[in-house]
């Protein structure tokens, strides 16, 4: 008869809690880190942009033909193109060391240009974020921007009897109203008639553009009689122009303050207000929201109303802002592609209010520096557009970034984190 020796149970050794430093490593330097993935996406896009800069230089391509006989010629030329191109991109958007002993306008000029270019993108990114959180995709930024620009332009040149800065306030409110009307119409069609907002907003972009170019700017009510043969409206009254924020020598207006206020309000709206909660609930699960007594149609309409109002503010900045090339008046290119750029900014900012601000500053820097890079180095601004598109593509595919840079998982970076 065999006897079995009883096995003694080994005592369980508790896994120690990760230290604070370990948690920081986990949060910042692992595959689950959103800031790290975004940063690496930007780096990877810039590397691809560097290749495009080299390819677009005929001299560098000629030297590539005898690379194996004289590789230093090609490498020196390629390095010159990329380094000088990105240096000028930085100088045109952030800071030029040559202006250390220059005037304040020379010293702060690049960064204020970036801020001015980022301002309408903040409004647009917030607008797309509002709609996206409500489960809708607003790609009608062009039409809503034009709608806001039309009303704000009319008030700016027609209502000259309003005293002082009050005309500016009314012009801004008119721009918001223009976007609200178009956005509310889209929301109503979505909620009450079941129309798809993507199709409706795309078609309204064309409707508003052709209404502006083929009709409105040809009428005596809007067309500037001093601009014969040009589709330009009457100029805005000086009282209705957005004032400089840092003085007349710097290219930033009060629209930046309005954009930051809008960011704070949108953040509060989503986190603190009942309507913001309802919009988020409808965006996450309309059926569950309806079951819990939330009116899905009402939330959708309000989401598009608010989104349209923010898009209308793009029209305000384009007509009354300092970057308007047509003397603060309305023209066919008033949208300047900002309605569609707002979509990429919102995606890059991960549809979070302050994420939109940082993404807008990045895109504003690219836009401000691209002109300097083209003027000094002959590099096409289309390369910057490609870089911007690549950033969004890489951010939208985080798994690709994780595999390219071999980012460790949270459990691998911090032993015991899985426990």
DSSP state, residue 236: P
pLDDT of residue 404: 87
By residue count, the chain amounts to 419
Residue 288 lies in a domain: yes
Reported as a single tens digit per residue, the pLDDT across 230-285 is 889 999 998 899 998 888 888 899 999 999 999 999 999 999 999 999 999 999 99
Nearest to 278 by CA among 297, 294, 257, 263: 294
Q: How many CB atoms are closer than 10 A to CB 378?
A: 11
Q: Is 117 exposed, middle or buried (0-12, 13-18, 19+ CB in 10 A)?
A: buried
pLDDT of residue 128: 96
Containing domain of residue 308, as a range? 117-371
> Cα 148 vs. chain centroid, distance in angstroms?
19
**Contact present, 409 and 30 (Cβ < 8 Å):** yes
**Contact present, 401 and 394 (Cβ < 8 Å):** yes
Question: Tokens 């691209």, residue?
Answer: 370
Q: How many domains does the chain have?
A: 1
The domain that holds 264 is classified in CATH as: 1.10.3470
pLDDT of residue 3: 55
Reported as a single tens digit per residue, the pLDDT across 293-343 is 999 999 999 999 999 999 999 999 999 998 886 667 888 889 888 998 999
H and E: helices and strands count for the chain: 17, 0
Residue 59 lies in a domain: no
pLDDT of residue 419: 47
3-state helix, strand, coil in the chain (%, to 5): 70, 0, 30
Q: How many CA atoms lie within 13 A of 158 on its CB side?
A: 14
Q: Which residues contact 75 (CB under 8 A, 6 or more apart)?
A: none
Q: How many CB atoms are closer than 10 A to CB 211?
A: 16
> How would DSSP label each residue in 307-344?
HHHHHHHHHHHHHHSTT-TTSS---TTSSTTHHHHHHH
> What's the CA gap between 49 and 28, in Å, rounded?
26
**Contact present, 315 and 126 (Cβ < 8 Å):** no
pLDDT of residue 210: 95
**Contact present, 116 and 322 (Cβ < 8 Å):** yes
Residue 323 lies in a domain: yes
pLDDT of residue 34: 75
At residue 367 the predicted structure's pLDDT band, cuts being 50, 70 and 90, is very high
Residue 316 lies in a domain: yes
Query: Is pTM, for the whole model, over 0.85?
Result: yes
At residue 415 the predicted structure's pLDDT band, cuts being 50, 70 and 90, is low
CA angle 122, 126, 127 (to 5 degrees): 115
**Contact present, 364 and 125 (Cβ < 8 Å):** no
Residue 14 lies in a domain: no
For the chain, how big is the Rg over CA atoms in Å? Answer: 26
Map residue 223 onto helix, strand or coil.
strand
399-to-32, 41, 355 alpha-carbon distances in Å? 10, 11, 20
Residue 218 lies in a domain: yes
| Region class of 197: left (phi > 0), else alpha (psi between -120 and 50), else beta | alpha
Nearest to 85 by CA among 414, 349, 384: 384
Map residue 233 onto helix, strand or coil.
strand
Residue 90 lies in a domain: no
Map residue 391 onto helix, strand or coil.
helix
Instruction: Give the mean pLDDT of 366-388.
Output: 89
With the C-alpha atoms ordered 250, 253, 257, 259, is the resulting torsion angle positive or negative? negative
Reported as a single tens digit per residue, the pLDDT across 50-73 is 999 999 888 888 887 777 778 888
Residue 131 lies in a domain: yes
Instruction: Give the mean pLDDT of 16-31.
Output: 53
Instruction: Give the mean pLDDT of 74-78.
Output: 87
At residue 165 the predicted structure's pLDDT band, cuts being 50, 70 and 90, is confident
Q: Which residues contact 224 (CB under 8 A, 6 or more apart)?
A: 230, 232, 233, 234, 235, 329
Question: Crossing angle, helix 34-55 and helix 382-396, to 10 degrees?
Answer: 150
């Amino acid at each position: 008869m065999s006897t079995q020796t009883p096995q003694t149970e080994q005592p369980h050794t508790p896994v120690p809690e990760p230290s604070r430093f370990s948690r920081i490593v986990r949060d910042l330097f692992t595959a689950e880190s959103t800031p790290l993935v975004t940063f690496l996406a930007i780096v990877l896009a810039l590397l691809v942009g560097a290749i495009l800069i080299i390819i677009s230089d005929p001299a560098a391509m000629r030297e590539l033909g005898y690379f194996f006989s004289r590789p230093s010629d090609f490498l020196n030329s390629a390095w010159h193109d990329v380094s000088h191109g990105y240096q000028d991109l930085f100088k045109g958007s952030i800071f030029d060391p040559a202006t250390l002993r220059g005037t304040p306008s020379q010293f702060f000029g690049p960064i204020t240009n970036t801020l001015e270019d980022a301002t309408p993108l903040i409004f647009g990114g917030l607008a797309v974020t509002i709609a996206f959180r409500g489960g809708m995709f607003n790609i009608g930024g062009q039409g809503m921007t034009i709608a806001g620009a039309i009303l704000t332009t009319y008030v700016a040149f027609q209502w000259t009897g309003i005293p002082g800065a009050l005309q500016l306030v009314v012009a801004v409110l008119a721009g918001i109203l223009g976007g609200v009307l178009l956005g509310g119409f889209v929301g109503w069609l979505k909620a009450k008639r079941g129309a798809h907002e993507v199709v409706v907003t795309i078609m309204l972009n064309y409707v508003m553009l052709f209404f502006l170019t083929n009709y409105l700017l040809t009428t005596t009510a809007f067309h500037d009689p001093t601009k014969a043969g040009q589709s330009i409206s009457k100029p805005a009254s000086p009282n209705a122009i957005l004032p400089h924020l840092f003085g007349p020598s710097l290219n930033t207006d009060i629209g930046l303050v309005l954009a930051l206020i809008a960011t704070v309000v949108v953040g509060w709206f989503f986190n603190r207000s009942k309507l913001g909660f309802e919009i988020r609930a409808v965006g996450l699960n309309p059926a569950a929201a309806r079951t819990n007594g939330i009116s899905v149609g009402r939330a959708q309409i309000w989401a598009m109303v608010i989104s349209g109002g923010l898009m209308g503010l793009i029209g305000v900045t384009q007509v009354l802002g300092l970057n308007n090339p047509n003397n603060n008046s309305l023209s066919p290119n008033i949208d300047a592609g900002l309605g569609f750029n707002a979509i990429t900014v919102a995606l890059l900012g991960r549809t979070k209010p302050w994420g939109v601000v940082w993404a807008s500053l990045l895109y504003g820097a690219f836009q401000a520096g691209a002109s300097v890079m083209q003027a000094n180095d002959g590099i096409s601004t289309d390369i910057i557009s490609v870089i911007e598109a690549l950033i969004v593509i890489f951010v939208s595919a985080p798994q690709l970034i994780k595999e390219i840079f071999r980012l460790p998982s949270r459990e691998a970076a911090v032993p015991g984190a899985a426990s």
